[in-house]
Amino acid sequence: MLSCQLSADWQHHSTSYEEPTLGDSPYGSLWPLPQKVQISTVVFKLSGASFHIFDAKASSSGASCRLLQNAYRRYDEYIFTSSRKQGQNKSKKALASDMSELQVWITSADSECDSYPSVTSDESYKLSVDSPVAVLKAPKVWGALRGRVHGFYSTHCLYSDEEKSINRTDIHDFPRFAHRGLLLDTSRHFLPIKVILANLEAMAWNKFNVFHWHIVDDPSFPYLSRTFPQLSQHGAYHPYTHVYTPSDVKMIIEFARLRGIRVVPEFDTPGHTQSWGKGQKDLLTPCYSGASPSGSFGPVNPMLNTTYDFMSMFFKEVNTVFPDAYVHLGGDEVDFSCWKSNPDIQKFMEQQGFGMDYSKLESFYIQRLLDIVTTTNKGYMIWQEVFDNGVKLKSDTVVHVWMGNKVEEELQKVTEAGFTTILSAPWYLDYISYGQDWQKFYRAEPLSFKGTDAQKKLVIGGEACLWGEYVDATNLTPRLWPRASAVGERLWSDRDVRDLNDAYSRLAKHRCRMVQRGIPAEPLFTGYCAHEYKGV
């Protein structure tokens, strides 16, 4: 353990990462960087008193679109709160050159205001900031949300402290990848609702659009199921204080929708299910020590019909509770030793002609589970092992690549087989090290593997994962931000956006903006924000 100190260069203040040089980026604090952006040197003043956000007359969405009205209010607050608090807009009259309004124009006939975002949602937008009116044009509300977050709010940060101002700007923007996700783990530690909501908010600022909710796992089962309430009754850390009720889940889904974020729940089986066993008798495989049961349990018992009855009913509920078109079925890290110890399973293996190949048994289970889920009309995502083991998958399955070794080979194989895939291997944010490790996340390139253009198109995105072994409400937010922001830009911006110095300058400002809006995003390096974190 101490050997690492031996090798350390003994300075008070050594760093293991190169320190980017501080300079101002021509793009101010824009994060993630838009696909096309032109910022002119002409500056308009913005004043909270006279500035308003409107629906454009020709827009297909109007005052009845709660999603947009909500967003207008949020961003109006973000932009002007501090100056209004300081009482700076006294009775200053707006100058003629001031910009007085932002018009939001949804151009396609169906704005999708009342629907849920999906992997095919159009998130593109065009923003033109000019005097006296700025126009934000987007085919769907999802693009308008991105535009709000991005352009408007961000550029205003070229403001001086005394008066908000904004440069004449033209932005044409769209995401490089359709799936830009963040995984939070609420099983290893329970995360109070407000922590989840705060991070959904921060996700929106960073243009993430998928909340991968790793909701249950071995340590605890906080999901309160209407069909099987005993699962959380016995499997949660506490049956009342450490659970997500149906209304909690609903609130989270709606909160996410209003920010253009999908909620993809993960119910991982057949491994990682210790907590399921507490409330659901006979679901897990009894392990044996010699000829008698040892009292401990292994993965889901794949040989009982009751298991599949249970899964049918359970996923039927999941299907109705979570509106997204996908559910994540897990399927990772199945330990075979318990199955091997159980004489009934051994017999079953024999009957099925699996020999000693327990991965066939795993596939047998997964196959049946996938069939069950298919009947609910949901698509599914699975961890890469399921694909590696040769399970037959529906063509629209998303294979989630997470293992750190041979990442490029795996991407090659998965896409060669014609499956869509998302990448997490380079973005396990729960692994921490001293210094500016955001650079490592930033440098990762999802499409560096060998393959045809068609294959590369199958990589629909990536996910930053924050597993919960060492993370709970106390340290989640500063550990996640702004490190996840690095992943956010990699997944949104053009492949060629890779200049670390430029990124550092923008990211430092972006993190101060998050801090000012109340998210305790940790510092990148020595320095300060005009408005430091007020919590603690």
Partner 1 sequence: LKTISNSRRCYKQWLWFMVLFMSFSVIYVDAVWPMPQMISSSMARYTLNPREFIFQYSSGSSAQPGCSLLDSAFERYYPPRQHDEWFRFPFTVVVHVERAECEGYPDADSSESYKLSVCSGQAALRAETVWGALRGLESFSQLVYQDDFGEYFVNETEIEDFPRFQFRGILLDTSRHYLPLHAILKTLDAMSYNKFNVFHWHIVDDPSFPYQSSTFPDLSSKGAFHPLTHVYTQIDVKRVIAHARLRGIRVLAEFDSPGHTQSWGKGQPGLLTPCYKGTVPSGTFGPVNPANSSSYQFMTRLFKEVTSVFPDSYVHLGGDEVDFTCWKSNPDVRGFMLKMGFGTDYTKLESYYMEKLVDKKGPKWRLVWFWQDVFDYHEKIPVDTVLHIWKGSPGQIQQELSSITLAGYRVILAAPWYINHIDYGQDWEKYYTIQPLNFTGTEQQKTLVIGGEVCMWGEYVDATNLSPRLWPRASAAGERLWSDEKMTSSVIDAFPRLVDFRCRLLRRGIQAEPLFVGHCRHEYQGI
User: In the beta sheet, which residues pair with residue 180?
Assistant: 462
**Residue placing its CB nearer to partner 1 in the complex, 54 or 533:** 533
User: Smallest distance, Å, CB 57 to partner 1?
Assistant: 40
- Which amino acid, residue 146? R
Query: Under the criterion CB under 8 A, does residue 241 sit at the interface with partner 1?
Result: yes
Whole-number Å distance between alpha carbons of 429 and 437 = 9
Compute the least distance from the CB of residue 381 to partner 1, in Å.
24
| Shortest separation between residue 474's beta carbon and partner 1, angstroms | 5
Which residue from 387, 464, 388, 453 is spatially nearest to 423, judged by alpha carbons? 464
- Contact characters 460-499, partner 1, x per CB under 8 A: --------xxxxxxxx-xxx--------------------
Work out whether 533 is an interface residue with partner 1 (CB under 8 A).
Answer: yes
Number of residues that bind partner 1 (CB under 8 A): 60
d(CA 491, CA 497): 11
In the bound state with partner 1, the residue whose beta carbon lies nearer, of 197 and 403, is 197
Q: Is-catalytic flag, 333?
A: yes
How far apart (Å, rounded) are the C-alpha atoms in residues 177 and 179?
6
* ω into 32 cis (within 30 of 0): yes
Nearer to partner 1, 319 or 475 (CB): 475
- Other C-beta atoms closer than 10 Å to the C-beta of 114 total 13
Could you say whether residue 126 binds partner 1 (CB under 8 A)?
no
Q: Is 395 in the site for partner 1 (CB under 8 A)?
A: no
Residue 259 interacting with partner 1 (CB under 8 A): no
* CB-CB contact of 244 with 187 (8 Å): no
CA-only gyration radius of the chain, Å: 25
3-state secondary structure 159-209: CCCCCEEEEEEEEEECCCCCEEEEEEECCCCCCCHHHHHHHHHHHHHCCCC
| Catalytic position from the list 18, 163, 333, 445 | 333
Site residues (CB under 8 A) for partner 1, limited to 498-517: 515
Subset of 279-308 contacting partner 1 (CB under 8 A): none
Span near partner 1 by CB under 8 A; candidates 53-61, 319-327, 353-361, 427-435: 427-435
> How far is it, in rounded angstroms, from Cα 231 to Cα 400?
27
Per the DSSP assignment, residues forming a β-bridge with 466 are 184
Is residue 435 at the binding interface for partner 1, with CB under 8 A as the rule?
yes
CB of 529 to partner 1, least distance (A): 8
Tell me if 220 contacts partner 1 by CB under 8 A: yes
Q: Which is nearer to partner 1, 23 or 62 (CB)?
A: 23
Residue 301 burial (10 A CB sphere; 0-12, 13-18, 19+): buried
Q: Which is nearer to partner 1, 178 or 471 (CB)?
A: 471
**Residue-wise DSSP of 36-92:** EEEEEEEEEEE-TTT-EEEE-TT-S--TT-HHHHHHHHHHHHHHHHHHHHTTTTSSP
- Tokens 């040989």 belong to which residue? 303
Q: What is the pattern of x (binds partner 1, CB under 8 A) and - over residues 195-214?
A: x--x----------------
Q: Residue from 263, 465, 497, 521 that binds partner 1 (CB under 8 A)?
A: 521
**Nearest Cα residue to 468 out of 133, 242, 178:** 242
User: Closest CB to partner 1 among 432 and 454?
Assistant: 432
DSSP-derived letter for residue 428 is: B
Candidate segments 141-149, 274-282, 502-510, 521-529, binder of partner 1 by CB under 8 A: 521-529
Q: Which is nearer to partner 1, 1 or 109 (CB)?
A: 1
- Active-site amino acid positions: 333
> Using CB under 8 A as the criterion, which residues of the chain lie in contact with partner 1 when the complex forms?
1-2, 4-6, 8, 10-13, 15, 188-190, 192, 194-195, 198, 219-220, 237-238, 241-242, 430-436, 468-475, 477-479, 515, 518-528, 530, 532-536
